[in-house]
Amino acid sequence: MTMIANSEAAVPIGRRVATYLGDCINTWLAAWIAHCEREAARGALASFNDRQLRDIGLAPRDLD
């Protein structure tokens, strides 16, 4: 029987678990960074007055 080096059976279970955990942490970290960016943008827009919001095509009610 021929074993292919890249097959799933050839990868040790520890490496698969580490890869899975790394992927989970990477996904969570990306979501957290995106959340922080949205909060920062929301804070910046909240500091604008009505005229500045209208200049960029928004109304105060659009921020909620």
Domain segments of the chain as ranges: 33-64
| pLDDT at residue 37 greater than cutoff 70 | yes
Q: What is the pTM of this model?
A: 0.67
Report the pLDDT value the prediction gives residue 29, as an integer from 0 to 100: 98
pLDDT category of residue 36 using cuts at 50, 70 and 90? very high
Q: If you average pLDDT over residues 32-59, what whole number do you get?
A: 94
pLDDT category of residue 51 using cuts at 50, 70 and 90? very high
Q: Which of 55, 51, 47 is nearest to 63 (CA)?
A: 47
Q: What angle do CA 58, 41, 55 make, to 5 degrees?
A: 25
The share of the chain scoring above pLDDT 70, in percent, equals 86
